[in-house]
């Protein structure tokens, strides 16, 4: 709790936190939706925003506001699946490479660097164009996680490399603790904060990728996500027909979502870096 | 220098290509979908009746076409062999034009967009970021920084869409899409070049603005750390001119990690260029890829994925080879 309090002192974190709370609230609202998001023609079509339909309705006869709540929930679910699985891969690769060192490290980091520089979009398109129709959002999350781990594995590895040289490692080894317990008990507390700050970055990457793949028509368009909402609005030419509320809702929401996630991750990584933390405390004191 | 710098880089280059091509080869084979069956069912759906014998013949020839004959290992070797010959088979949506020809036609557009935008955003971003980082306590520096902070996390697609809606739909200053006016023959006249520029402006703008935001932020972070280093404090105390400190002492040092960062983010920038092209229907590889997806042209998607892996890793190798020019420490090692 005190960590949260410290973080909230930072203006960036406060802003990001408020926006993400509003977005989360919208996502939770989806559980109370009066409409089924997959059904069409439940409300009159093409209505502009009014008191009854806060964000208007679209050409499929759906209420844009309630559609948005489902979209947020599903997009965040995909992001969390993708980010948490890729975290597991990153931790395993980072720990092994950092702890074993030598040849294992060189081989793992060679592969890791290849993943880092490969243009992922064409590869993801290749995969998802093959399993087009069957791409549920869990599968999508898993596919994204298979490609989103390389940068963070590198960060974790370098952290482990520096931990390995510290005295407490030798103390632990000499006092006979096993490798596994050393890694989990001693190293994990140092690694967890990094994992958390990269988690947010990775979530925002996954949401962006989902939008991109949905626009290309490569995900299951029945499930409302931020990407598929945008895709439907574009394929119905919402802008040309003057249905701006339909197109702008997912665009503006996603921009807010990305900015808030970014603000949170910047603020958390500044907090984790002791040098800037000292600076901030000094600024507050002055 | 050769042994300690160039050879490891070259090995890494080969490894990237190996890993990338291996992924591109194996992943489609791990999915439960059979491209041959998919192709046949698309043909059947169009209403053509095929008797079982014809289906069998077609399966055979399609298998040959996709390189699906023999054991997995044989297929893998054959895949590499075809790769060296630059043979990705014919395109299916514009049969029988070979894939390599289609890619070759759209490549200049992508290369043009990518190099111009990368170059511009790297230069502008570093200069702006250097200045903002050097004067990081000033008010205007903070304003620029926070603008960059709000632009940076927006994905290429969403940002390009916003630019398109604002400048092409609402203000109508620029064309909605395409690479050049329809019915105009390419020539070296000034009007044609101006037209080319007019069509390329919005894609360039959206890529450069995003690129500048990223470069600016990393550069600011590096510079604001270097400014606190002892040698800068000492130079200041010794009365070296401020401009001299900024350019010769600080920015020069900060450029080096930025070269590495550029090499590392090239893959992402390339993916961004593909997406931007799709939004503006710019006639490069992105739009080609979009058509390939829409028509289910497996060969073409495969060819684009493989060639972009090779292209991007070659580009990164090129940056790595240029690095000693910037950093004398590497040169003399």
Write out the residues of chain A at the interface with chain B, using a CB-CB cutoff of 8 A: 12, 110-111, 113-123, 125-127, 129-131, 134, 204, 208, 211-212, 215-218, 230, 239, 247, 251, 254-255, 258-259, 261-263, 266
- Is residue A72 over pLDDT 90? yes
Per-residue pLDDT at A69: 92
Q: List pLDDT tens digits, range A122-173.
A: 888 888 888 776 777 788 888 889 888 888 888 888 888 888 888 888 888 8
Report ipTM (2 d.p.): 0.81
Q: Kindly tell me the burial class for residue A101, based on how many C-beta atoms sit within 10 Å of its own C-beta (0-12, 13-18, 19 or more).
A: middle
Q: Which residue bears the tokens 């940002």?
A: B159
The mean pLDDT value of chain A amounts to: 83
Q: Is the CB of residue A194 less than 8 Å from the CB of residue A272?
A: yes
Q: Chain A: residue nearest B10 by CA?
A: A110
Q: Residue A116: its chain B contacts at CB < 8 A?
A: 264, 267
Kindly determine whether residue B312 and residue A125, on different chains, have CB atoms separated by under 8 Å: no
Backbone angles phi, psi at B98, to 5 degrees: -65, 145
- In our burial notation (b when 16+ CB lie closer than 10 A, e otherwise), range B150-186 reads ebbbbbbbbbbbbbbbebbeeeeebbebebbeeeeee
Q: Which residue has the higher pLDDT, B63 or A271?
A: A271
Q: List pLDDT tens digits, range B291-318.
A: 888 887 788 888 898 988 998 889 888 8
Which long-range contacts link B139-147 to residues 24+ away (Cβ below 8 Å)? Answer: B144/B216, B145/B216, B145/B217, B145/B220, B147/B213
Kindly determine whether residue A129 and residue B152, on different chains, have CB atoms separated by under 8 Å: no
Q: Residue A140: its chain B contacts at CB < 8 A?
A: none
Please state, in angstroms and as integers, the Cα–Cα distance from residue B248 to each residue in B92, B126, B240, B242, B251, following that order. Answer: 56, 14, 11, 10, 6
Q: Chain B: residue nearest A150 by CA?
A: B264
Per the DSSP assignment, residues forming a β-bridge with A63 are A57
Instruction: Provide the pLDDT confidence category of residue B281 given band limits of 50, 70 and 90.
Output: confident
Q: Which residues does B301 contact at the CB level (< 8 Å), separation at least 6? A: A122, A125, A126, A129, B289, B292, B293
Q: Is the CB of residue A116 less than 8 Å from the CB of residue A81?
A: no
Q: List pLDDT tens digits, range B146-200.
A: 898 888 888 888 899 889 888 888 887 887 777 776 666 666 777 777 878 888 8
**Integer Cα distance of B23 and B200 in angstroms:** 33
The mean pLDDT value of chain B amounts to: 82
| Torsion on CA atoms B217, B221, B224, B226, rounded to nearest 10 | -130
Q: Chain A: residue nearest B28 by CA?
A: A127
Kindly determine whether residue B28 and residue A130, on different chains, have CB atoms separated by under 8 Å: yes
**Integer Cα distance of B317 and B14 in angstroms:** 10
């Amino acid at each position: 709790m005190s960590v949260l309090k410290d973080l909230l002192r930072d203006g960036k974190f406060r802003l990001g936190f408020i926006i993400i709370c509003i977005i989360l609230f919208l996502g939770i609202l989806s559980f109370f939706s009066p409409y089924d998001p997959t059904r069409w023609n439940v409300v009159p079509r093409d209505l502009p925003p009014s008191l009854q339909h806060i964000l208007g309705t679209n050409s499929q006869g759906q209420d844009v506001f309630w559609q948005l709540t489902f979209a947020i929930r599903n997009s965040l679910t995909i992001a969390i699946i993708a980010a948490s699985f890729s975290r597991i891969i990153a931790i395993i690769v980072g720990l092994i490479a950092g702890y074993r060192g030598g040849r294992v490290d060189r081989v793992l980091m060679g592969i890791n660097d290849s993943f880092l520089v490969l243009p992922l979009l064409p590869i993801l398109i290749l995969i998802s164009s093959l399993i087009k129709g069957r791409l549920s959002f869990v599968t999508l999350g898993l596919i994204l996680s298979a490609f989103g781990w390389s940068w963070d594995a590198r960060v974790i590895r370098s952290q482990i490399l520096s931990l390995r040289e510290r005295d407490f490692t030798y103390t632990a080894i000499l006092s006979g603790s096993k490798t596994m317990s050393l890694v989990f008990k001693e190293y994990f507390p140092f690694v967890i904060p990094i994992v958390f700050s990269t988690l947010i970055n990775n979530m925002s990457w996954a949401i962006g990728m989902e939008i991109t793949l949905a626009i290309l028509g490569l995900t299951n368009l029945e499930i409302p996500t931020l990407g598929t909402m945008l895709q439907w609005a574009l394929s119905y030419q919402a802008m040309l027909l003057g249905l701006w509320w339909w197109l702008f809702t997912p665009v503006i929401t996603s921009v807010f979502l990305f900015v808030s996630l970014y603000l949170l991750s910047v603020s958390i990584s500044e907090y984790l870096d002791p040098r800037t933390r000292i600076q901030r405390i000094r600024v507050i004191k002055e | 220098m050769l042994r300690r710098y160039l050879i490891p880089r070259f090995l890494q280059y080969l490894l990237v290509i190996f890993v990338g091509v291996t992924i591109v080869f194996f992943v489609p084979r791990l999915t439960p979908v059979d491209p041959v069956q998919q192709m046949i069912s698309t043909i059947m759906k169009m209403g053509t009746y095929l008797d079982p014998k014809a289906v069998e013949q077609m399966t055979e020839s399609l298998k040959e076409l996709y390189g699906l004959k023999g054991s997995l290992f044989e297929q893998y070797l054959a895949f590499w062999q075809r790769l060296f010959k630059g043979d990705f088979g014919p395109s299916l949506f514009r049969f029988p034009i070979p894939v390599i020809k289609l890619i070759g036609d759209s490549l200049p557009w992508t290369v043009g967009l990518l190099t111009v935008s990368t170059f511009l955003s790297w230069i502008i971003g570093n200069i702006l970021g250097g200045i903002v980082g050097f004067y990081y306590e000033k008010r205007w520096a903070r304003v620029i920084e926070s603008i960059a902070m709000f632009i940076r996390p927006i994905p290429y697609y969403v940002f390009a869409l916003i630019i398109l809606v604002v400048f092409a739909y609402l203000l109508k200053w620029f064309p909605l899409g395409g690479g050049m006016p329809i019915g105009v023959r390419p020539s070296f006249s000034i009007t044609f070049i101006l037209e080319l520029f007019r069509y390329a402006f919005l894609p360039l703008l959206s890529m450069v603005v995003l690129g500048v935001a990223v470069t600016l932020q990393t550069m600011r972070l590096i510079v604001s750390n270097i400014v606190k280093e002892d040698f800068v404090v000492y130079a200041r105390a010794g009365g070296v001119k401020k401009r001299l400190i900024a350019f010769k002492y600080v920015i020069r040092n900060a450029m080096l990690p930025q070269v590495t960062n550029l090499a590392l983010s090239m893959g992402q920038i390339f993916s961004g260029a593909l997406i931007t092209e799709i939004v503006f229907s710019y006639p490069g590889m992105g739009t080609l890829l979009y058509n390939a997806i829409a028509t289910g042209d497996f060969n073409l998607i495969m060819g684009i994925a493989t060639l972009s892996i090779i292209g991007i890793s070659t580009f990164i190798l090129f940056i790595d080879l240029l690095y000693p020019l910037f950093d004398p420490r590497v040169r003399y090692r």
